[in-house]
Amino acid sequence: MTLADIDATALLLAIPGFTALALAALSGYRVASQINVAASALSFLCAASLLVHRPASGGYLFVDDLNIVFIVLSTFIGFTTSVFSASYIEHEIETGKLSAVNVRFYHAIYQALMFAMNLALLADNIGLMWVAVEIATLTTVMMVGIYRTPEALEAAWKYFILGSVGIALALFGTILVYMSAQPALGEGSDAMVWTSLMQHAARFSPRLLNVAFVFLMLGYGTKVGLAPMHAWLPDAHAEGPTPISAVLSGLLLNVALYAVLRFKMLLAANAGAISPGPLMATLGLVSLIFAAFMLYRRDDIKRLFAYSSIEHMGVIAFAFGMGGPLANFAGLLHMTMHSLTKSAIFFAVGHVAQVKGTQKIARISGLTVSHPVIGWGLVAGVAAIAGLPPLGIFTSEFLIVSSTFARQPLLAVPLALGLLVAFGALLLRLTEMAFGEPTENAGKAQASVIPLFAHLSLVLLAGLWLPPQLVDWFQNVARFLG
């Protein structure tokens, strides 16, 4: 690998890594927030450059069609969230909800999180990927508890405990994969290098791979937020700062899903191993139906959309579990649309919580009258996440349902039922919050609305027209996934 080749991948780690260290030494919030935005923008530009020039594999990092999808999406949302976060957190400090002491390392931790997620996506070593996911977990734990309220600390502690259990299961699964590869690749790091594992997967012990995938699916599935390993997610979303809710739903869940997909490909390359699809499809369908009914019982706006994230990660896991070119394509598209839409919704929710002074749905009403920009932004976001045409999620859900009807009609029934139940819950809650007599205001929102409408514009564009280059790219990845 030449110096020119490693520039983009190295910078994707160096920029957030060194920025995190620099921000840890700064005490001024405004300067730190500006540096955070600039570093996030540079990371996105480096990720976008991978679309033009792809470095050769080698060392501990590699790039292929699959992780480019995740890295470009991750850095883009990381950048837009940093823009939203800058003014949002400043408003929280000015209103006394956050103390300057508590946010001293906020931006440093934000860049440490971006470093960890980039490393997980670029790592050519399954052990290094596991370490990166653990670092990402620890950084988000600290950010979830930043308000230092009893509820926030409880949510952070719950996230830490359940996340630790999940990551321990994933570690055991990773060790089993290493043991299955050892007879073919020998002892040492070669038996953990992803590119080597895929080349020799047919020679691995299928029994060990089968057991390994169960632990990996449960371990990383905890991070994905799949039921019944989801319990940390609603509390983390509700009690943490809203920008971190956007990062959790839009980025961190995808990183854990990426790890699952990598190991799914490994099993698919071994003729003696079980098919990982049924387990993924089952957990996905359970998550979808469970979350869809739970949406009716939420009285907190952030918890509502936390369960919506569980629902959609279930849809995505189901699509990838079904497999095949069309379902995989739909899964990739749905993952992309969900990340853009859900982060946009949390941007809107952040504004709502600031102007109304509450997250309780019963105390939020008439947003389209009292705050038309925020209100109609939330309406557009909920319409998108509910799957209404002509927005992008409608396209991906239509492809998932139609491909399921074509291949497994019996599974299409609970799939469609879950989507309809969730649609009804979101429509009910949206009607309560967006329309009717406006409730009393508690303040003004100062966060930028540009990230909100930038995301929604992309989701609308994807629903109306997908560039042929993007379609070809996703189709190639879909074939790659098997």
Give backbone dihedrals phi and psi of 300, rounded to 5 degrees, phi first.
-115, 130
Whole-angstrom Cα Rg for the chain: 21
* Euclidean distance between CA atoms 369 and 371, whole angstroms: 6
Residue pair 48/228 in contact (Cβ under 8 Å)? The answer is no
Query: H helices of 64-149, where?
Result: 65-94, 106-122, 126-144
Angle between helices 392-407 and 301-322 (to 10 degrees): 40
Residue pair 72/50 in contact (Cβ under 8 Å)? The answer is yes
C-beta neighbour count of 188 within 10 angstroms: 10
* Euclidean distance between CA atoms 17 and 3, whole angstroms: 19
* Alpha-carbon distances, residue 390 vs 305, 377, 396 (angstroms): 21, 16, 11
Give the per-residue pLDDT at 381.
95
Give the per-residue pLDDT at 57.
65
CA angle 55, 196, 202 (to 5 degrees): 135
* Euclidean distance between CA atoms 114 and 130, whole angstroms: 15
C-beta neighbour count of 437 within 10 angstroms: 8
3-class SS of residue 193: strand
Q: Which two tokens stand for residue 207?
A: 């029994």
Give the per-residue pLDDT at 445.
67
- Token look-up 């449960």 returns 218
Residues written for the chain = 482
Give the per-residue pLDDT at 6.
52
Q: Point out which residues pair with 58 in neighbouring strands.
A: 61
Give the per-residue pLDDT at 3.
42
* Euclidean distance between CA atoms 75 and 211, whole angstroms: 34
* Euclidean distance between CA atoms 13 and 15, whole angstroms: 6
Give the per-residue pLDDT at 53.
82
Give the per-residue pLDDT at 452.
93
Domain boundaries, the chain: 275-482
C-beta neighbour count of 27 within 10 angstroms: 10
Q: Which two tokens stand for residue 396?
A: 């991906």
Closest residue by Cα to residue 154 from 172, 141, 170: 141
Give the per-residue pLDDT at 289.
96
Averages of pLDDT over each 10 residues, the chain, 482 residues: 61 95 86 94 94 77 90 95 91 81 86 96 94 94 90 93 93 95 85 90 92 95 91 90 90 93 92 91 96 92 94 96 93 96 94 88 90 93 94 95 93 95 93 85 74 94 92 90 80
* Euclidean distance between CA atoms 158 and 12, whole angstroms: 31
Residue pair 117/252 in contact (Cβ under 8 Å)? The answer is yes
Give the per-residue pLDDT at 438.
84
* Euclidean distance between CA atoms 360 and 369, whole angstroms: 19
